[in-house]
Structures are given as structure tokens and as C-alpha cells.
A and B are shown apart, each in its own frame.
Chain A
């Protein structure tokens, strides 16, 4: 570590090597939690979005109900219901499920995944529904069946239309994950709250954590710009 950083760290009371490590551990937990819920949520959402566009109401109805429930209630309430609700099921403590749900990480992962999957389902569904009819007719004319049409035409074209809205959902999810600290998870916000309560220094503790979130957001924005450039290459003007 360069001398001037070590010197600065020694001069202030709050940002010692120990608290920096607490923030770092919190950042690892946040990234871990958000990454896993986004990946699982996206896979679930692609499947559900396809089911949601099926004409049969017995297939699309339940998916509609699911997205309505999870988009219609605050994430904090969903987290409370899953975290505290599971512990109230009589006898759960004796089953192997308790090994998983005893720790706050998995209830939080479940709540975040279900929440982001609901929003993402609606984003992708919107993109699927707005597929130009001509593309589908052309695919049909080529003799593609439903499955091949989905795989080759509808989903790739929907992905291009969904990516901008989805990048917002990812950033919202990162910021929504701050509520994980209410169920004792020491994520970035949890670390900030612990440090705040130890030093009674709200500005230092929370401004630092805000900068951490901004840094993470910047990485996400950058990654999505690259992805958009890649997916929407065909829309760019031919450069001279």
C-alpha cells in the first residue's frame, strides 16, 4: 500500500483498514446476492414470458397472476413475508429445508429472484408481443415450426428490444438489494449501518457507501452499453 494512503488511513477515525474490509465484505455479499438473483430471475423470466404470450388462458393466466402479485407489492414486504413467514411454518425447523432457510441469504435470494423475474417477465413479454408480424410471417413461409420460430426469430429480436429496459431493471435491482440489511444480511448497506452506529457519523458512513453503489452502477452501465452496441450493431449508421 502506498505510504500516503496508509498515512491518510491512520489519520482518520472511521476509514481504518478494518472498516474498509467491512465495506469490502459487504460489497462482495451485495454483488453475490444481486448477480445470482438476476441470473436465475432472467432464466425464469424468459420461460414465463413465453408462457405469458400463449393464447390458452390456463397457461398465461397463472403467469399473469404471478407477475401481478410480485409487481403489485413492495419488495420489502415480500422479503418480510418470506424471511419471517418461513420460520413460522410449524415443524420447518426439523426438516432439511431449515438448513437453507435458517440463514438470511436464501430467503433474500428467493425474494429478490421472484421479484426481478416478475418485472423481467413483463419486459420480455412486451418485446415478444411487439415482434413485427412480417418477421413471423416470413419465418412461417420458410416452414419454421413454433419452437424454431421462437428460438431463431422471436427471442433474438425481442432481446434487442428488451435490453434497454432490462438494463434499468438490473440497476434497480442493485439498489433494491439495499433492503437485505433489514434481515440481518451484512451487505453494503448493512456494513454502512453498522459503521454509522459505531461512530455516529452518518455522512461519512453513508456517503462512502453511496460512492460504492455508484461505482457498481457505473460498471453495469458500461457493460450494458457494450452489450447494446453488440446487439444493435445493425442499426448503427455505416461509419465512413
Chain B
């Protein structure tokens, strides 16, 4: 039976030729849990910002989508080994990754956020007021690059390997302010007593894109078209507002 359907769909595909409206099968990989982007809710259903966006994208592309759970280490190898066709798991676009996979246009970018203890009243964009302050960042992140390029020589920059160490030093008053990936700050700093967000979140980096095999350029065109439509017709904004109270749209 399955074989017959397969044969029939092959025949259909042949008849339909290059027509866009054909139904196609796509497998999309996520690494869970990464709240609020992809995680399992209390019923065990896969949900989250990227999952809902993927569902909307599949509808737009008239594709039958299957969602695959894949651990982060095996993401790119799994894609190249054809275990799935798309990665929509918060993969930031970097030149190193772009050598191995094909990225769509970016579909979101979390900003960097400024966080400090209650009582901090300096304007973080005012360089003369910030002079001599100690700023904490995670080493090698886009936040690190931003602070190094824009505030190097004005503030003292302390670089940390983990966000936890950095938050400890903010608590212990070794740091005046930290500049960290907004969702990380929201979860590790704002959940504690005595801390607050200061200043406006800053958009950094190239953002997160859908990753595909490099030969699938037609698929990439379709993905880009679908994402562009979702961003325009308000579907994207509706999904985003369900999960975030700040703007991550790109």
C-alpha cells in the first residue's frame, strides 16, 4: 500500500513537473528543550516560537512537515546525512557554518540586554557617564564584540565563560552592569531579587536562519518566500507576541 502511494506520488510529481503547488514532504529538526523557542509542553506536545513558525511556514509552502528531535552536536551532520531537510533550531548564521550549510534569510535575532543591580541609574549609551565602569560579557559572543568595539578603552571589560559566573560577580558588586543575550538575562538575572534591566536592548549579529543542504537552493528560495510572506501578513508578529514581550523580528 505504502509503495503504491509512493509510486503514485512520484508519478504525480512527474506530471506536476516544476509546479509550485505540489505537496512535498519536509523533515525539520529541533533541539529541545530550548525555551521558549522549542520545547515540549505539559502534554508532551512539541511547541515554542520556532515550532509554530515552522508550522506556519509549512502551510505557506504547502508542504507536509514532519518534526524531528535532534541533539545539537548532531545537527549539521544529520542534515548532511539526509536525516532531515531543514534545521530551525536557533542556529545563528556564522561564516564558519555557512561553509557547510545553506542559510535562509534570518528570521529572528535576540537582542543583547543591559542588566544591573537595583539602584543603577547611569545611562548605558552615555559614554562619558559610563567611563570607568566595569562591564561583564560572555567571551566570544556578539555582545562581547559590540562592547569591545564600541566601549573598549572607556569601560573595563570582564569576559566570562558562563553566564552563571558573570551573574555571581554582578551580585558580588564586582561588575556594575552586564551585557548579555536578552533571553539569558531574562531567565538568570531578572528572576532574582534586586536586579533590573537598564537601557534599551540592542540588536546584534546576523541573526538566526533556517539551515539547509547547500545543493537545495530551490528549497531555500521557497523558504525565503514563505518567511517573507509570514513577516508581512502579520502571522509572524502574532506568533512572536505569544512568546516574547520584546522585538526579535528580522
Interface residues of A (CB under 8 A from B): 84, 87-88, 93, 98, 102, 104, 182, 184, 186, 190, 193-194, 196-198, 200
Contact between A87 and B172, CB atoms less than 8 A apart = yes
Interface SS of chain B: mixed
Contact between A102 and B159, CB atoms less than 8 A apart = no
Q: Which residues of A contact B159 (CB under 8 A)?
A: 184, 186, 190, 193-194
Interface residues of B (CB under 8 A from A): 96, 139-140, 144-145, 158-161, 165, 168-169, 171-174
Query: Which of A87, A186, A198 has a CB less than 8 Å from the CB of B169?
Result: A87
Contact between B172 and A84, CB atoms less than 8 A apart = yes
A193-B139, A200-B96 in contact; A182/B161 too (CB < 8 A)?
A: yes
Contact between A197 and B173, CB atoms less than 8 A apart = no
Contact between B140 and A197, CB atoms less than 8 A apart = yes
Q: Report the minimum CB–CB distance from A11 to chain B (whole Å).
A: 20
Contact between A88 and B172, CB atoms less than 8 A apart = yes
Q: Which residues of B contact A197 (CB under 8 A)?
A: 139-140, 144
Q: Which residues of B contact A184 (CB under 8 A)?
A: 158-160, 169
Residue of A nearest to B144 (CB): A197
Contact between A84 and B168, CB atoms less than 8 A apart = yes
Cα(A197)–Cα(B160), bound, Å: 12
Q: Which residues of A contact B160 (CB under 8 A)?
A: 184
Cα(A38)–Cα(B159), bound, Å: 27
Cα(A124)–Cα(B172), bound, Å: 38
Cα(A84)–Cα(B159), bound, Å: 16
Residue of A nearest to B141 (CB): A197
Q: Which residues of A contact B165 (CB under 8 A)?
A: 182
In addition to A184-B159, A197-B140, 6 A-B residue pairs with Cβ atoms within 8 Å of each other are A182-B161, A182-B165, A190-B159, A196-B140, A197-B144, A200-B96
Q: Which residues of B contact A87 (CB under 8 A)?
A: 168-169, 171-174
Chosen A-B contacts, 10 in total, with CB atoms closer than 8 Å, are A84-B168, A88-B172, A93-B173, A102-B173, A102-B174, A182-B161, A184-B169, A193-B139, A198-B140, A200-B96
Q: Which residues of B contact A104 (CB under 8 A)?
A: 174
Cα(A84)–Cα(B164), bound, Å: 12
Cα(A99)–Cα(B168), bound, Å: 18
User: Which of B161, B168, B169, B174 has the most A CB atoms < 10 Å from its CB?
Assistant: B174
Cα(A197)–Cα(B161), bound, Å: 11
Q: Which residues of A contact B145 (CB under 8 A)?
A: 198
Q: Which residues of A contact B158 (CB under 8 A)?
A: 184
